[in-house]
Structure 1
Amino acid sequence: MNEELQKLQDKIVVLLRTVYDPEIPVNIYDLGLIYDVDIDDANNVTIEMTFTSPSCPAADFILMDIQMKIESIPEVNRVDINLTFDPPWDKSMMSEEALLELGFM
């Protein structure tokens, strides 16, 4: 990844760490809900992600928050979010910080 794309990737991760499920006091990135962030040559961003449950009541809110925040980055042309439940999320995908915050360590 070239330096410009790496800087854009870093900006995206910073913003993803500001997105929270209203019911969980940990951001979606550290929860392990983000599986992949791909940036193409035209600065179109594709985010592959999941939820802790397919029936997440805050799904629409979270998706809208991600969309608005990533689109606010001037270098980003377009944002596409792909939801997947394969592999299904489990707590092993959480960062150490998230595990500590939620009392799993």
Structure 2
Amino acid sequence: MNHEETVEIGDKIVNVLKTIYDPEIPVDIYELGLIYDVLVNDQKQAKILMTLTSPNCPVAETLPKEVEEKVCALEEIESAEVELTFDPTWTQDMMSEEAKLELGFL
């Protein structure tokens, strides 16, 4: 897989992530800054490093599964794995300008 293909697949993954919303906040998980990294290897396996707004988040069980399922549904991806981390801890500073505007923080 060449660099252009990798970038194209990465963009498709980001577009999928932008369709997934935190149920308590009307902003998608990508704009919220919950996605720390997206990696795709030559075997078309995706690994997503993400966090939650808090370790006690009510969707701690379901949100990572939803991310895995939706990324796996892309025809360019063979498998997807989501790794949850709380290092660094999520803060409102990690939100995009668009998310801050949407939530009235700007």
Q: What is the TM-score when the length of structure 2 is the normalising length?
A: 0.95
1:90 equivalent in alignment to 2:79: no
Q: Quick check: 53-62 or 13-22, which moved more?
A: 53-62
User: Which residue of 1 is the match for residue 14 of structure 2?
Assistant: 13
> Equivalent residues in 2 for 1:51-66 (5 A)?
51-66=52-67
Question: One-letter code of the match for 2:39?
Answer: D
State the shift of 1:75 in Å: 1.2
State the shift of 1:43 in Å: 1.0
User: Which residue of 2 is the match for residue 44 of structure 1?
Assistant: 45
Pairwise CA RMSD: 1.0
- Structure 1 segments of 4+ aligned residues over 3 angstroms from their partners: none
> Equivalent residues in 2 for 1:64-75 (5 A)?
64-75=65-76
Identity of aligned residues (%): 50
Provide the aligned length of Structure 1 versus Structure 2.
105
Q: What is the TM-score when the length of structure 1 is the normalising length?
A: 0.96
User: Which residue of 2 is the match for residue 28 of structure 1?
Assistant: 29
| Per-residue CA distance 1:17-63 (angstroms, 9 max, x = gap) | 00011111000000000000001111110000100100100122211
Q: Where does the alignment leave 5 or more consecutive residues of structure 2 unmatched? A: none
